[in-house]
A and B are shown apart, each in its own frame.
Chain A
């Protein structure tokens, strides 16, 4: 136990607490809320706003698309052999984030990307002229989906497996149509898992740095990028802002994860 405790303390708990405390520590000792208050400057609020919006967008879309695919794999009646490889691939894709992912999307949807060129030369559609830009809000969201959707698939597939066949049959024998079954039984059972996973996807997107940095550099100011710049020392106004930013991040991701765990416990209680 001792090495673990020592390790956890030194390299996980204390650094985190240090940041949290640092967010409230005033110059020369004592506690203050000034740093937190300083977060509410226009530029930083803008950063939080963009971060939250991208995280919401990618979480929501990831949830939706991932759910459809997971449904296709489980209750959709597809051949059995498709499920295994798709789940393995989801495992791979959910870890394929960061710099290589950014490259992949640049190579596909960047100005010289495969799909961009393909659409221009075969269909005469110039997506960049139509206002699309990979290095933007929606471009980043689209890229994030690459690891959000698989994560959704991996979490939701077991939940869909948990929908017992007898429930569907019982509902049917009692006169329900398929739509009625989904509306009255299946979705109510699933929604804690869905909501919880949405929260998890949100937290996941919020904390992601590498992909954004590699894709947009510092041009799209999401919170992790701002913090990144702070740490690097590029913007040297007030070191305590860094603490406050980090604290803000922990709060957001903490809430997201807490929601996920709470929802999951609720779902498991019903399905005893």
Chain B
């Protein structure tokens, strides 16, 4: 029995079906991200777990107990909002201690816990400041401390880093993950930034238009995307069109060039399929063993320092490839004839949309 069990969750706003048959089991201490574009239903699902929205149907069980009929202040859940939502009239210490004060704890107990939390978020001297005196990153850390001070059974974060600068986002997300692991608290994290999801989560739920398209750990999501959407949303992708010549052997042609995948394809001969290839799996020069190659003309070259990005024009389509910079090898020039290779296992056949 998982710690958090969401079963057959559905939400309608009038006629609009915003969350469709959502199912998820989360183990205790797990960090799960809901990843998807705006409007995909991830925030709505989170708010249903928190209790701010009521599901049209379905159940949400926390530690075995169905909480759908409980008010948010009865669920013992911690929540961190995108806009920090710190109470402007209270100091940092009073904000952090708010949940405990509401629960009627003794003053000494509250003070002790507040100091503890301030230490965990590395802001021990800022207890007496007001929110408007803090930077965005500091405010969000205080918001996290406030949510955790009451020892909730579940931590929910709604795009907490979206309002911050890029640099702070990176350092803060490492800090959040570290605190989460240290405290072992079950966490759900909503974001539209795939880098955040990939670097922080134990598992990711990729959502699109109210549907959970794939659930899995970051490695699987990135390397074995289940649907075209997941493949396109997570990481960059070469989406190419191919024509199947021999389904049994997995032979197809891309812009007239023959590729043999060595594994069967579910399609009829002559059918058009979509194939996906990650840029970093394509290498300059041909790769004969368990590999295939494509020939084309270099359309443009971007030297980005550690990464070299080359776009190769085939007959009609363009293949992009990323490779690490090697000081010994000069980048190709525009107009050069080039052959590139990749392992056939890296070319994914994705059902055409």
Known: A169-B72, A170-B79. A175 touches B103 (CB 8 A): yes
* Chain A residues near B147 (CB-CB < 8 A): 173-174
The answer to whether A166 touches B89 (Cβ under 8 A) is no
Which A residues, 22 to 51, have Cβ-Cβ distances below 8 Å to chain B? none
* Chain A residues near B77 (CB-CB < 8 A): 173
For A172, A189, A269, which residue has the most chain B Cβ atoms within 10 angstroms?
A172
The answer to whether A177 touches B73 (Cβ under 8 A) is yes
Which A residues, 147 to 184, have Cβ-Cβ distances below 8 Å to chain B? 164, 166-167, 169-177, 180, 184
Known: A173-B50, A175-B73, A272-B132. A184 touches B85 (CB 8 A): no
The answer to whether A169 touches B88 (Cβ under 8 A) is no
Q: A255 in the interface, Cβ–Cβ < 8 Å? A: no
The answer to whether A270 touches B88 (Cβ under 8 A) is yes
Known: A173-B79, A174-B146. A189 touches B102 (CB 8 A): no
Q: B87 in the interface, Cβ–Cβ < 8 Å? A: yes
CA distance A177 to B78 in the complex (A): 16
CB distance from A176 to the nearest CB of B (A): 5
Contact of A185 among B51, B81, B87, B130 (CB under 8 A): B87
Q: A254 in the interface, Cβ–Cβ < 8 Å? A: no
* Chain A residues near B83 (CB-CB < 8 A): 164, 166
The answer to whether A173 touches B132 (Cβ under 8 A) is no
* Chain A residues near B198 (CB-CB < 8 A): none
Q: A217 in the interface, Cβ–Cβ < 8 Å? A: no
* Chain A residues near B75 (CB-CB < 8 A): 173
CA distance A189 to B87 in the complex (A): 9
Which B residues, 116 to 144, have Cβ-Cβ distances below 8 Å to chain A? 130, 132, 143
Q: B324 in the interface, Cβ–Cβ < 8 Å? A: no
Q: B52 in the interface, Cβ–Cβ < 8 Å? A: yes
CA distance A50 to B150 in the complex (A): 54
Which B residues, 277 to 324, have Cβ-Cβ distances below 8 Å to chain A? none
Which B residues, 48 to 87, have Cβ-Cβ distances below 8 Å to chain A? 50-52, 71-73, 75-79, 81, 83, 85-87
Which A residues, 80 to 137, have Cβ-Cβ distances below 8 Å to chain B? none
For B50, B51, B71, B79, which residue has the most chain A Cβ atoms within 10 angstroms?
B79
20 contacts between A and B (CB under 8 A): A167-B85, A169-B79, A169-B85, A170-B86, A170-B87, A171-B87, A171-B102, A172-B73, A174-B78, A174-B98, A174-B102, A174-B146, A174-B147, A175-B150, A184-B90, A185-B89, A188-B90, A189-B87, A189-B88, A272-B88
Q: B210 in the interface, Cβ–Cβ < 8 Å? A: no
The answer to whether B130 touches A270 (Cβ under 8 A) is yes
CA distance A175 to B77 in the complex (A): 9
* Chain B residues near A12 (CB-CB < 8 A): none
The answer to whether A169 touches B102 (Cβ under 8 A) is no
CA distance A185 to B73 in the complex (A): 16
Q: B99 in the interface, Cβ–Cβ < 8 Å? A: yes
CA distance A183 to B204 in the complex (A): 40
Number of A interface residues, CB 8 Å? 21
CA distance A7 to B38 in the complex (A): 56
* Chain B residues near A166 (CB-CB < 8 A): 81, 83, 85
Q: A1 in the interface, Cβ–Cβ < 8 Å? A: no
* Chain A residues near B51 (CB-CB < 8 A): 173
The answer to whether B89 touches A176 (Cβ under 8 A) is no
* Chain B residues near A172 (CB-CB < 8 A): 71-73
CA distance A173 to B71 in the complex (A): 9
The answer to whether A174 touches B88 (Cβ under 8 A) is no
Contact of A269 among B52, B72, B98, B132 (CB under 8 A): B132
CA distance A177 to B62 in the complex (A): 22
Q: A2 in the interface, Cβ–Cβ < 8 Å? A: no
Chain A, Cβ-Cβ closest to B152:
A173
Known: A174-B102, A270-B130, A270-B132. A167 touches B72 (CB 8 A): no
* Chain A residues near B143 (CB-CB < 8 A): 170
CA distance A171 to B98 in the complex (A): 8
CA distance A177 to B71 in the complex (A): 10
Contact with A along B94-105 (1 / 0, CB 8 A): 000011011100
* Chain B residues near A164 (CB-CB < 8 A): 83, 85
CA distance A269 to B79 in the complex (A): 26
CA distance A272 to B132 in the complex (A): 6
Chain A, Cβ-Cβ closest to B75:
A173
CA distance A269 to B81 in the complex (A): 22
